[in-house]
Structure 1
Amino acid sequence: IPEEHREKIDEWLKIDFQMRIDEHITRSRCLFLVGPTQHGKRSWARSLGKHISFVINFSLRAWRDDVKYIILDDIPWTDISPIAKGLLVAPGNVNLTDKYMSKMNVKNNKPCIVCINDDEGERILHSDTGDYWKENGVWIPLRRGQKMF
């Protein structure tokens, strides 16, 4: 973890990640790892424990209750924005859907890590819900050469 981001990430891991997994809090902020490709965002996220990872597409059919957290990697914001609040902040019982499935009620107590490149991060922050995600996300901007490992 780059030194300049260590404190913010450690705080997220302690509060939003572990306390939500242990159900000491009822929702968590999403961790947004934003930066160039090949900088270890997904590898670092995968190292934290039992998870489910969605790469490029979100598939509700692949949902698993036995994992601790969710990783979304390179999924276009336009694909998940309609369900983002139910998916990214682990609010408990929610109705989720995707392009190919009808709504399904799931217990989402799973913290979420979103791994995206700079342009997608800008798209989120400048969307109509950008202010919400500034408040309900922890944003880690990685510069070129600043790797997670």
Structure 2
Amino acid sequence: MLNNAEIQEYINTQPKYKGSEVAQVDSKSAIGASHLLYKRGSDKMIFIKIDETLVRAGDKKNKNIAPIQSVSEVAVFSFHAFSKAQFEKFALARQYTFTSDDGDTLVLKTWLSTVELLAVIPKKLNVEVIDHKWYEKIVGFRSKNPLKMTAAIVIYGGVLALLANWLLF
């Protein structure tokens, strides 16, 4: 599996995508997409799927084998199609919800920082940053579901007990 730096290097060699930034993404609006391409001064969010070349262990030293077989566009959205955006920051990821005037939404989860995306989106877009309490960012407490919270406490407590046992003995 390629890392974002290797994917970014490949994207910069493609004339169609030159200058675009790459971020891993999960979105139900772009099923099958693995990455998001965005660029300053551009109105587009391009969701792509990357097909990696299968390379055998012995062939990895061969520099003539391209690590990416193909890049296909899964969906393209325009920032101007939306009137409102909400950003939620969790422990590991961020969730961005873009809403249009007619109620259509685009929800994407990524590790892309809010500062990077805010630099790209148009100023006319009404942006709301939702700040959660520190404990609402922890896995198990985000949904505020008592069952999930109890399970998280048991699991986190078990991990802490194992860690304390390992450190003390």
Q: TM-score, normalised by structure 1?
A: 0.25
Q: Which structure has greater strand proportion?
A: 2
Structure showing greater relative contact order (alpha-carbon pairs closer than 8 Å, 6 or more residues apart): 1
The structure that has the greater radius of gyration is: 2
TM-score (normalised: structure 2): 0.23
